[in-house]
Chain A
Amino acid sequence: MGTINTSQFRKGLKVQMEGDPYLMIECNFVKPGKGQALYKCKFKNLIRGTVIDKTFKSDTTLEEADVNELSSQYLYRQGEAFVFMDNESFEQYELSADQVGDAWKFLKEGMNCDMVLYNGNAISVTPPNHVVLKVEYCEPAVRGNTATNLTKPVKLETGAEITCPAFIEIGDLLKVDTRTSEYIERARE
């Protein structure tokens, strides 16, 4: 991979620092009138998801990270591993439960996910922002109550629990926001 100089800094760059891949999410040029320029940057660790602040003097060089994003399909779970397939090459990749993180709650076989490869290995997946999942179990609906302020926990077909309105019944299809784990609405097929 190549190197990136401060003069080429911009949002969206993927760089390698202290052995981890980082995404540059902010870059601010600051300079005292007569002084040396500084680049104040924010980075997201692509493996851990943590955000760090770093400042660089001009003419600093960073290593480009070998990071690729691709579209993949969730195939199945095998013990502790989640198996995905690159939609273009059909190559299969395994991610650990740790790497999948909270995304497991929304993974349904055949679902399309964005996958990030680092040095050729899958490091993270992101499910679509909205997914539709079936309710596997919940307490019976409160008859006649369609208010949304009464809530109850439900178990989804993936095994995840979320909170939704009391009128939801077993077998209902729910539209869920995967970024917040929140119920959005009842969905038709």
Chain B
Amino acid sequence: MLADWQPTASLANLRLRAELLKQVRALFDARGFLEVETPLLCADTVIDAHIDPLSVTLAQAGRHDPSACRLWLQTSPEQCMKRLLAFGAEAIYQISRAFRAGEGGPWHNPEFTLVEWYRVGDGTQEGIALLSAVAEELLGRGAAEQLSYGAAFQQHAGVDPLRATEDDFVAAARRHEVPIPPPAKGDAAAVDEQAKLDAWRELLLVEVVAPRLGRNTPTIVHDFPASQAALAQMRAGDPPVAERFELFVDGLELANGYHELLDADELIERGERANHIRTSLGKQQLPRPQKLLDAMRHGMPAASGCALGFDRLVALVAGAGKLADVWPFPTDRA
């Protein structure tokens, strides 16, 4: 048994962690990326329906201060890094702590480390190629195979995720003996038809598709459903898809990237949609990211960007079964 003060990670894993930090820096430095640092505390945060930021009150030193302003601990360094792109930075990376409320489990901790990068001029293909190279260098398991979101579901769950109806998803879940969750109090599936279909996609992704991804070589899934575009550009087609890509290794979601959305009005609309879902779930509304919108209106250059979960990466390289094996003090013991 560990005493309360003791770390959950071995010194060997902490040495491996330090080694991988060096490798990440070497990898991006060699490609001419500039390492940047941006604030963890900001007035705005990315508005996600299902990611909950923690807030901090900036009070006068040691006193109760009713006028104190509330700042958000960043759920990713995305906003400030994009403001740097709009200001002229061309290729930047950052190794940053990120915070997400309510996320705790073998592969989640409310405080975690992201490696995030952006390169101006990259489209989806270049973004995927860079992520593949990063994965190959850091994991040593070869180049990543590429699979569209649709093909991944077809192959592993036998359903076309972009065209399926709720009945099709139910049938696929039953075929794979997936326990179907009962309706919850705050249930995104109850918001509208689109959110309901997304809930089915997420259930099948978590239970059936993801566990089968990245087993031999890393897998990069691309062309996400339009409803899961987040901050990615859309690509016209039938149906249109989001230029979003994700890396899976040993069934674990390791990185998420976009051909970045540039249209400020579109960002406002997506934020309102996310806030609408948040309200239905009984969650607080998040403020409009005004400074990012200003930066986008000033002119953010076309770029691809990606965020990689560093703790999960270390765990995969270490052959560990949980984040606590590579992060010394998980939040419930910090």
- In the complex, how many residues of chain B place their beta carbon closer than 8 angstroms to a beta carbon of chain A? 38
In the complex, A7 Cα to B282 Cα: how many Å? 14
Instruction: Say if the beta carbon of B331 comes within 8 Å of chain A.
Output: no
Give every chain B residue within 8 A of A59 (Cβ-Cβ): 184-187, 281-282
- Output the residue of B105, B107, B108, B189 with the most chain A CB within 10 A: B105
In the complex, A132 Cα to B281 Cα: how many Å? 57
Tally inter-chain residue pairs, CB-CB below 8 A: 86
- Report the minimum CB–CB distance from B273 to chain A (whole Å): 13
- Report the minimum CB–CB distance from B49 to chain A (whole Å): 8
Q: Are B184 and A33 in contact (CB under 8 A)?
A: no
In the complex, A35 Cα to B203 Cα: how many Å? 9
- Also in contact, A56 and B182, with CB within 8 A (given A32-B206, A35-B198, A36-B202): yes
Digitize B105-128: 1 where CB-to-A-CB distance is under 8 Å, 0 elsewhere: 111100000000000000000000
Instruction: Say if the beta carbon of B306 comes within 8 Å of chain A.
Output: no
- Also in contact, A35 and B50, with CB within 8 A (given A30-B206, A57-B184): yes
Instruction: Say if the beta carbon of B26 comes within 8 Å of chain A.
Output: no
Give every chain A residue within 8 A of B180 (Cβ-Cβ): 55
In the complex, A61 Cα to B107 Cα: how many Å? 23
Give every chain B residue within 8 A of A58 (Cβ-Cβ): 102, 184, 186
- Report the minimum CB–CB distance from B281 to chain A (whole Å): 7
Q: Are A28 and B106 in contact (CB under 8 A)?
A: yes
Instruction: Say if the beta carbon of B230 comes within 8 Å of chain A.
Output: yes
Q: Are A7 and B102 in contact (CB under 8 A)?
A: yes
B201's closest neighbor in chain A, by CB?
A35
Apart from A31-B108, A35-B206, A53-B179, 20 more pairs, CB < 8 Å: A28-B105, A30-B206, A31-B50, A31-B206, A32-B202, A32-B206, A33-B246, A35-B50, A35-B198, A35-B202, A55-B178, A55-B179, A57-B181, A57-B183, A57-B186, A57-B189, A59-B184, A59-B187, A60-B185, A61-B185
Interface pairs (9), CB distance under 8 Å = A29-B104, A31-B206, A33-B253, A35-B228, A38-B206, A53-B179, A54-B179, A57-B184, A59-B186
Interface residues of B (CB under 8 A from A): 48-51, 102-108, 178-189, 198-199, 202-203, 205-207, 210, 228, 230, 246, 253, 256, 281-282
Lowest 4 CB-CB distances: which A-B pairs, in order?
Answer: A29-B105, A59-B186, A35-B202, A57-B184
